[in-house]
Amino acid sequence: MGIDLTSGMKSPLTVQGLSKHYPAFDLRDVSFTLRPGSITGFIGRNGAGKSTTINAMLSFVRPDSGEISFFGLPYPERDREVKEKIGFVSAGMTFYTRKKLSAITAVTKSFYPAWDDGVYRKYMAAFGLGEEKTPAELSNGMKIKYALALALSHGAELLILDEPTSGLDPVSREELVEIFLTLKDEGRTVFFSTHITSDLEKCADRILFLQQGCLMADDDLDAFRNAWRLAECPSEIPAAMKSAARGICRSKEGYTVLLPASGAEAFPTREATLEEIMIHLEKEADQE
């Protein structure tokens, strides 16, 4: 377990049978393995369990069952070694809003033996960040960039990002997507959760789709998209199509119907976007 079969390298992250019970929500038996040097998108609607999965992966919440390893090291047993090799960035969290970035950096760097001041300065300059500012003075996009600069300066090989593009304008989101692609080119692994699927279409190699606490799909982006077709029906939906449908949504022109590609040959269809696939599958789940 934990070896990537294509590269023979130890997987940056292996999650096996992760479960967590809450009174109103269950995360059930989530398992996946990340490939080194890839970008993996973790999608699902709000409340699907993306943040719970990440929090359980990082032991912020204690999972009821499951095994987690980073770079072949069991977690949380080897947490110190692991945390030196990973970076976690969450859009919802801003640390020490009134402290200068220089003060936060000075504290942070003291914990990492591999900290590289040159790399830090490079990223601060590239991201247009000044150390005399406080997090309260930064935009949401800049806060994410600062958190990334910290993670990259201690040599994080795996970046785990929870909703990094949420609340950002399209230009800022595009900038972040470009940063992720650059990080991938440098050989780092990026794992990020989002419900803004259009960002993933631009950069992700692989998709994990979480629905109501269960991992419904774990596939390459293209394979995932190619597994589905979308039919547009201006008026009535044919009965044959209705029976094969995996989600029907209202549209301005009538209805859109998601069909498994293997059974869609008989109908006029087009490629479905990631967003359309997610919306239709969620719609289907709501109706069940």
Partner 1 sequence: MNTLMKLIGKEWKLCMHPTGYIMPLCAALILVPGYPYGVCCFYLCLAIFFVCLTARENHDAAYTLTLPVSRRDAVTARILFCTVLEVIDLLLMGLFILLKNLIGNQPNPAGLDAGVALLGDGMVIFALFNMIFFPVYYRDINKPGKAFLLASVAVFLWIIAEVIGTYTVPFLRDVLDQPDPRYMSDKLLFTLGGLALFVAGTAWSIQRSARRFEDQDLNL
Sign of the four-CA dihedral 180, 120, 86, 12: positive
CB 89, min distance to partner 1, A: 9
Region of 59 (left: φ > 0; alpha: ψ -120 to 50; beta: rest) is left
Binding of residue 222 to partner 1 (CB under 8 A): no
- Whether the CB-CB separation of 88 and 150 falls below 8 Å is answered with no
CB 101, min distance to partner 1, A: 12
Out of 30, 58, 101, 221, the residue judged to bind partner 1 by CB under 8 A: 58
Binding of residue 243 to partner 1 (CB under 8 A): no
Name the residue nearer to partner 1 (CB basis): 56 or 245: 56
Q: Which stretch binds partner 1 (CB under 8 A): 82-90, 121-129, 185-193, 223-231?
A: 82-90
- Whether the CB-CB separation of 184 and 38 falls below 8 Å is answered with yes
- Whether the CB-CB separation of 19 and 26 falls below 8 Å is answered with yes
What part of residues 88-127 is at the interface with partner 1 (CB under 8 A)? 88, 90, 93-97, 99, 103-104, 106-108, 110-112
Out of 50, 83, 225, 280, the residue judged to bind partner 1 by CB under 8 A: 83
CB 16, min distance to partner 1, A: 20
> Residues 25, 31, 32, CA angle at the centre, nearest 5°?
130
Q: Which residues does residue 40 pair with via DSSP β-bridges, in sequence order?
A: 191, 206
CA distance 276 to 212: 18
Which residues contribute to the site for partner 1 (CB under 8 A)?
55, 58, 60-62, 79-81, 83-84, 87-88, 90, 93-97, 99, 103-104, 106-108, 110-112
